Amino acid sequence: MSRRYTIEEADALVPEVAERMARLVELQQVAAARLGRARRRARANGHGAGLDPGVAGEIKQALEWFEERAIEVRGTTPPLVDFPAYYDGRDVLLCWTEGEERIGWYHSPEEGFAGRRPVGELGE
Beta-ladder partners of 75: 80
pLDDT at 47: 56
Alpha carbon distance 113, 124 (integer Å):
22
- pLDDT reading at 50 higher than 70: no
- CA 99, distance to chain mean position in Å, is 14
What is the tens place of the pLDDT at every residue in 72-115?
999 998 999 999 999 989 999 999 999 999 999 999 999 888 89
User: Residue 79, by phi and psi: left (phi above 0), alpha (psi -120 to 50) or beta?
Assistant: beta
pLDDT at 15: 97
